[in-house]
């Protein structure tokens, strides 16, 4: 009677229990769970007819559309493995990931077909290319998704799936080397979804806005979590403030996920629209440590509730959450926002999280001693696809090593101080770029900021800040330096402030600090 743990069960149940309920909104298109399930089953039949079966890899390149969402069910249902790729990458990036994963079939939104066409002749393992679009395409050598949908059989028998089977291969950002393919199992994803709902509840009355890219760690598994709750997926192709405001009000959105950089854009969107924005929206933020000032502004000015959660693509992705406890309610709004910026404690389902020194001993709970976050348990990946050396390195000592430097507070809550590679060592002192950024973001004129260590003749390395000012606000380097001296130890104050119009970021909103370190003059000149 044992049933394998797989997110495919979420759709089976949703179709049975919530068949007539609205499942997906994508522009003018609205699908019930029954209709959505039928489309997923028809495409599973279509995949099988194209020769896709157990263990085969199917790559996707698409924005947050209903057609992309369908792939997260149709592909795994036949026992195949979905390989969702960052649509903002280059043709050569697509070529590498398709070939490295050995994808048998590639599904591409029409916007990116030309980029794939430029390299498709060098993808020998791919047997078919499928165009995802809103209307039938007349492209040579491309199969049309909607036409295949209409012609496919309606009855589908799900493949025999074991919970240890691979569900997805998710490629990391590859900021310092070639991207690595993170292998996530059906069990990993099921556990993450259920754990998320245990701490951040959703119901069939809720409506989730897709501000987070579906390709990013499977949309933090919300591709399946929303369905598990019987809630509504509201698709959004571009996470821009005005579009978010419009969808939140029009579709009565209750939940969304966003990286801190997206939170900043939401908090600073068009004021005329912001004044009439629906209140009470619950936001889950992750991807980088959010600044307390950003959380405070979201809650005080918008009336939205922000919860900080932590993890990596390799942990499916959540391993800790800044879970509120009764004691937090007595704190001032500013103090509570500071606590909310921490990474928190383990989810009840994820497994064990520790902060350890170089001997793998737990650091003391003093809020000061730095160590590395390591984890093991139900959500940790199976390994890196076709990369045994990187897998062995990541699992040294029997624990997954995150690469994040953190402290543990007396209450047991973990707080990241930096990526280990981003810790600034100036004159023998460790400086957390995150701490400096958080301090600067509390200045009224600062919209965004990134702090990196740069070579320094006297100190070896010193922090420098790249700053984006709010629209209409002004600030000088001297003013920001004086402000920083009032809230930071003097050795932590940036030695230079660069005013820029934008910061280099990944598609998921993470600031690419290696770009700032490598090409500062070009960034400042923009």
Report pLDDT digits (tens) over 70-89. 999 999 999 999 999 999 88
Neighbour count for residue 353 (Cβ, 10 Å): 26
User: Distance between CA atoms of 98 and 122, rounded to whole angstroms?
Assistant: 10
Query: pLDDT tens for residues 244-268?
Result: 999 999 999 999 999 888 998 999 8
Residue 525 confidence (pLDDT) above 50: no
Could you give phi then psi for residue 196, rounded to 5 degrees? -60, -45
456 vs 45, residue with greater confidence:
45
Residue 480's Cβ-side half-sphere holds a number of Cα atoms within 13 Å equal to 31
Q: What is the pLDDT of residue 56?
A: 98
Residue 225 confidence (pLDDT) above 90: yes
Query: pLDDT tens for residues 401-449?
Result: 999 999 999 999 999 988 888 888 887 777 888 889 999 999 999 999 9
**Which CATH number among 3.40.50.980, 3.40.50.10710, 3.40.50.12780, 3.40.50.620 corresponds to the domain 239-419?**
3.40.50.12780
- Same-fold call for 8-13+25-181 versus 239-419: yes
Which residues are CB-contacts of 202 (< 8 A; sequence separation ≥ 6)? 208, 225, 226, 229, 231, 254, 255
Which long-range CB contacts under 8 A does 116-120 form with residues at least 24 apart? Answer: 116/61, 116/91, 118/91, 119/91, 119/92, 119/94, 119/95
- For residue 29, give both structure tokens: 């298109």
Q: What is the pLDDT of residue 485?
A: 93
Which neighbouring-strand residues pair with 461?
455
User: Distance between CA atoms of 38 and 41, rounded to whole angstroms?
Assistant: 5
Q: Is the dihedral of CA 242, 508, 170, 253 positive or negative?
A: negative
For 119-123, 257-261, 501-505, 510-514, which range has the lowest pLDDT when averaged over its residues? Answer: 510-514
Q: Please compute the mean of the pLDDT values over residues 14-30 and round it to a whole number.
A: 98
**248 in Cβ contact with 209 (< 8 Å):** yes
Q: Which fold has domain 423-525?
A: GMP Synthetase; Chain A, domain 3 (3.30.300)
Residue 522 confidence (pLDDT) above 60: no
- Give, as one character, the DSSP assignment of residue 344: B
Homologous superfamily (CATH) for 8-13+25-181: ANL, N-terminal domain (3.40.50.12780)
Q: What is the pLDDT of residue 187?
A: 98
Q: What is the pLDDT of residue 134?
A: 64
Query: pLDDT tens for residues 90-148?
Result: 899 999 999 999 999 999 999 999 999 999 999 999 999 999 986 555 577 899 999 99
Q: What is the pLDDT of residue 363?
A: 98
44 vs 461, residue with greater confidence:
44
Q: Please compute the mean of the pLDDT values over residues 467-473 and round it to a whole number.
A: 94
Query: pLDDT tens for residues 309-342?
Result: 999 999 999 999 999 999 999 999 899 999 999 9
**287 in Cβ contact with 510 (< 8 Å):** yes
Which residues are CB-contacts of 118 (< 8 A; sequence separation ≥ 6)? 91
**197 in Cβ contact with 176 (< 8 Å):** no
Could you give phi then psi for residue 379, rounded to 5 degrees? -100, -5
- For residue 209, give both structure tokens: 């806005």
Residue 279's Cβ-side half-sphere holds a number of Cα atoms within 13 Å equal to 7
Domain ranges of the chain: 8-13+25-181, 239-419, 423-525
Q: What is the mean pLDDT of the chain?
A: 93
User: Distance between CA atoms of 115 and 106, rounded to whole angstroms?
Assistant: 13
Query: pLDDT tens for residues 354-375?
Result: 999 999 999 999 999 999 999 9
Q: What is the pLDDT of residue 142?
A: 94
Confidence of residue 177 (pLDDT cuts 50, 70, 90): low
Confidence of residue 174 (pLDDT cuts 50, 70, 90): low
């Amino acid at each position: 009677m044992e049933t394998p743990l797989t997110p495919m069960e979420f759709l089976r149940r949703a179709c049975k229990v919530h068949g007539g309920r609205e499942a997906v909104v994508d522009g003018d298109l609205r699908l019930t769970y029954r209709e959505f399930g039928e489309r997923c089953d028809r495409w599973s039949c279509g995949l099988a007819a194209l020769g896709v079966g157990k263990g085969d890899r199917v790559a996707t390149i698409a924005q947050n559309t209903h057609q992309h969402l369908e792939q997260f069910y149709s592909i795994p249902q036949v026992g195949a493995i979905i390989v969702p790729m960052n649509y903002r990458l280059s043709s050569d990036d697509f070529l590498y990931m398709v070939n490295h994963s050995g994808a048998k079939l590639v599904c591409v939104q029409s916007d990116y077909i030309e980029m794939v066409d430029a390299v498709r002749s060098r993808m020998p393992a791919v047997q078919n290319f499928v165009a995802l679009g809103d209307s039938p395409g007349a492209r040579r050598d491309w199969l049309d998704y909607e036409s295949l949908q209409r012609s496919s059989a309606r009855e589908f028998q799900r493949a025999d799936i074991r919970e240890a089977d691979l569900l997805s291969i998710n490629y990391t950002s590859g900021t310092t080397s070639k991207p690595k393919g993170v292998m996530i199992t059906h069990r990993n994803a099921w556990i993450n979804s259920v754990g998320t709902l245990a701490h951040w509840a959703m119901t069939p009355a809720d409506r989730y806005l897709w501000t987070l890219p579906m390709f990013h760690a499977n949309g933090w598994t919300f591709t399946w979590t929303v369905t598990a709750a019987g809630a509504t997926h509201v698709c959004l192709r571009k996470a821009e403030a005005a579009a978010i405001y419009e969808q939140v009000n029009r579709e009565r959105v209750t939940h969304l996920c966003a990286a801190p950089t997206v939170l900043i854009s939401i908090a600073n969107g068009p004021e005329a629209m912001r004044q009439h924005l629906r209140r009470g929206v619950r936001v889950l933020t992750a991807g980088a440590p959010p600044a307390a000032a950003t959380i405070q502004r979201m809650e005080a000015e918008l009336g939205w509730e922000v919860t900080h959660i932590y993890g990596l693509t390799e942990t499916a992705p959540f391993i800790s959450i800044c879970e509120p406890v009764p004691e937090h309610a007595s704190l001032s709004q500013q103090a509570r926002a500071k606590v909310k910026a921490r990474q928190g404690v383990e989810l009840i389902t994820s497994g064990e999280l520790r902060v350890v020194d170089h001997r793998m001993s737990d650091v003391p709970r003093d809020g000061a001693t730095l160590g590395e976050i390591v984890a093991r348990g139900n959500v940790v990946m199976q390994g890196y696809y076709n990369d045994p050396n990187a897998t062995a390195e990541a699992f040294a000592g029997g624990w997954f090593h995150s690469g994040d430097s953190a402290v543990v507070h007396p209450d047991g809550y973990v707080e990241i101080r930096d990526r280990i590679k981003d810790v600034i060592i100036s004159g023998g002192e460790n400086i957390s770029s995150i701490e400096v950024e958080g301090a600067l973001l509390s200045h009224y004129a600062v919209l965004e900021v990134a702090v990196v260590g740069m070579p320094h003749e006297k100190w070896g390395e010193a922090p420098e800040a790249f700053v984006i000012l709010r629209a209409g606000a002004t600030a000088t380097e001297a003013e920001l330096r004086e402000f920083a001296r009032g809230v930071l130890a003097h050795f932590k104050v940036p030695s230079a402030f660069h005013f820029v119009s934008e910061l280099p970021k990944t598609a998921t909103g993470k600031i690419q600090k290696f770009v700032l370190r490598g090409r500062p003059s070009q960034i400042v000149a923009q």
